[in-house]
Amino acid sequence: MKKHEIISFKADQQLVEALTHIPNRSEFIRNAVLRAMDNICPLCQGTGILTPNQREHWNEFNEHHKIVKCDECDEIYLACDREQHNGSPL
């Protein structure tokens, strides 16, 4: 059986009070962390900062891509502006 580790973190009073009303805080926090990890930026890995090498790769990628807002859902996404051989966007 795999041994569990205890991980602790600091929380402000407002968060502490909010968590006191949750029946199984450990499970709630585990699930919240796992969900958050599914949404981490694949490039910066959640740091919010690019290394110089990552920045160089991003600049190359950005030459043929743009950040656009979807007219249907209002979400921001990356779109390629290169044309394939048949004239369709990639």
Residue 60 inside a domain? The answer is: yes
Q: What is the pLDDT of residues 52-84, one digit of tens each?
A: 999 999 999 999 999 999 999 999 999 998 754
Q: Say yes or no: 86 and 65 in one domain.
A: yes
d(CA 48, CA 43): 9
Q: What residue numbers bound the domain in which 66 lies?
A: 49-90
81 touches 64 (CB < 8 A):
yes
Q: What is the 3-state secondary structure (H, E, C) of 25-86?
A: HHHHHHHHHHHHHCCCCCCCCCCCCCCHHHHHHHHHHHCCEEEEECCCCCCEEEEECCECCC
Residue 59 inside a domain? The answer is: yes
Residue 31 inside a domain? The answer is: yes
Residue 44 inside a domain? The answer is: no
Q: Which residues pair with 89 in a beta bridge?
A: 83
Q: What is the pLDDT of residues 16-58, one digit of tens each?
A: 999 999 999 999 999 999 998 888 888 888 899 999 999 999 9
